[in-house]
Chain A
Amino acid sequence: AQSVTQLDSHVSVSEGTPVLLRCNYSSSYSPSLFWYVQHPNKGLQLLLKYTSAATLVKGINGFEAEFKKSETSFHLTKPSAHMSDAAEYFCVVSDQAGGYNKLIFGAGTRLAVHP
Chain B
Amino acid sequence: KAGVTQTPRYLIKTRGQQVTLSCSPISGHRSVSWYQQTPGQGLQFLFEYFSETQRNKGNFPGRFSGRQFSNSRSEMNVSTLELGDSALYLCASSPDGTTNEKLFFGSGTQLSVL
B48 touches A101 (CB 8 A): yes
B100 touches A43 (CB 8 A): no
Query: B106 on the interface (CB 8 Å rule)?
Result: yes
Within 8 A of B (CB), among A80-115: 90, 94-96, 98-108
CB distance from A81 to the nearest CB of B (A): 24
B102 touches A108 (CB 8 A): no
**Residues of chain A within 8 A of B31, CB atoms compared:** 100-101
CB distance from A61 to the nearest CB of B (A): 16
How far apart sit A45 and B3, CA to CA, in the bound complex (Å)?
12
Query: A49 on the interface (CB 8 Å rule)?
Result: yes
When C-beta atoms are compared, the residue in chain B nearest to A33 turns out to be B100
How far apart sit A96 and B4, CA to CA, in the bound complex (Å)?
24
A99 touches B105 (CB 8 A): no
B contact residues vs A (CB 8 Å cutoff): 4, 31, 33, 35, 42-45, 48, 50, 55-56, 58, 90, 92, 94, 97-103, 105-108
Beyond A100-B55, A100-B98, 13 extra complex contacts between A and B, CB < 8 Å: A32-B99, A43-B108, A44-B103, A90-B43, A96-B99, A100-B50, A101-B94, A101-B98, A102-B48, A102-B58, A103-B33, A103-B45, A105-B42
**Residues of chain A within 8 A of B99, CB atoms compared:** 32, 94, 96, 99-101
How far apart sit A33 and B43, CA to CA, in the bound complex (Å)?
16
The secondary structure that dominates the A interface is loop
**Residues of chain A within 8 A of B98, CB atoms compared:** 99-101
Closest 9 pairs (CB-CB, A-B): A43-B105, A105-B43, A44-B105, A43-B107, A101-B97, A51-B100, A32-B100, A100-B97, A98-B56
